[in-house]
């Protein structure tokens, strides 16, 4: 199973559209968003994709975000998502508090821990746990990026949007 991973879009529609085009071109079966959409107007762009997401620390109107997720048939899990995909147990947490991120990784309960927040691309392994931060889809002063996880091979790939 190929999973697309995105985080920290921060209202950047042009980069979001690039990311969605790449997810579709590569036939990603699931998109996991690690938070910081910021405004609810970002969500309709995901329509037609299998989207699961969580809140980030900069997300504004949470009730309207939830409503927009429902309108497109997507799942917004709150501040934390635990999901079983392609034989892997995956935790998605924005990463606002490093201590919580570290506890998720060190617990050994998850095959994959996905975070955002720092706007830095991260791939590392800690014991049996793969840790992924796709970077920021917004780009800010650096590079805009997303990531892919192949659940069969456990391969992680980063794709720059610029």
Residue 92, strand partner residues: 81, 114
Query: Residue 127's pLDDT is what?
Result: 95
* DSSP letter (8 states) at residue 62: H
Which H or E run contains 14?
helix 13-25
End-to-end CA distance of the chain: give it in Å, rounded: 26
Structure tokens at 114: 């996905």
List, in order of start, the domains of the chain with CATH numbers: 2-160 (3.60.21.10)
The CA distances from residue 116 to 3, 52, 60, 94, 99, in Å, are: 16, 14, 17, 5, 14
Between CA 55 and CA 59 the distance in angstroms is: 6
Residues in Cβ contact with 85 at an 8 Å cutoff, skipping those fewer than 6 apart = 1, 3, 30, 151
d(CA 34, CA 9): 10
- Residue corresponding to tokens 């990784």: 105
Written as six digits, the tokens of 48 are 């037609």
- pLDDT digits (tens), the chain, 162 positions: 999 999 999 999 999 999 999 999 999 999 999 999 999 999 999 999 999 999 999 998 999 999 999 999 999 999 999 999 999 999 999 999 999 999 999 999 999 999 999 999 999 999 999 999 999 999 987 899 999 999 999 999 999 997
**What pLDDT is attached to residue 96?**
97
Instruction: Give me the pLDDT at residue 141, please.
Output: 77
């Amino acid at each position: 199973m190929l999973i697309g991973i995105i985080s920290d879009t921060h209202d950047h529609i042009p980069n979001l559209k690039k990311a969605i085009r790449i997810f579709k071109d590569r036939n990603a079966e699931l998109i996991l968003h690690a938070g910081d959409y910021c405004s609810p107007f970002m969500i309709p762009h995901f329509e037609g994709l299998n989207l699961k997401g969580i809140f980030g620390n900069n997300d504004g109107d949470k009730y309207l975000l939830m409503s927009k997720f429902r309108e497109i048939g997507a799942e917004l899990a709150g501040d934390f998502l635990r999901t079983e995909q392609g034989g892997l147990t995956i935790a998605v947490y924005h990463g606002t508090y490093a201590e919580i991120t570290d506890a998720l990784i060190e617990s050994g309960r998850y095959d994959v821990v996905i975070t955002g927040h720092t706007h830095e691309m991260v791939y590392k392994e800690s014991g049996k746990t793969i840790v992924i931060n796709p970077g920021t889809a917004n780009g800010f002063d650096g590079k805009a990026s997303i990531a892919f996880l192949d659940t069969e091979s456990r391969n992680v790939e980063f794709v720059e949007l610029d």
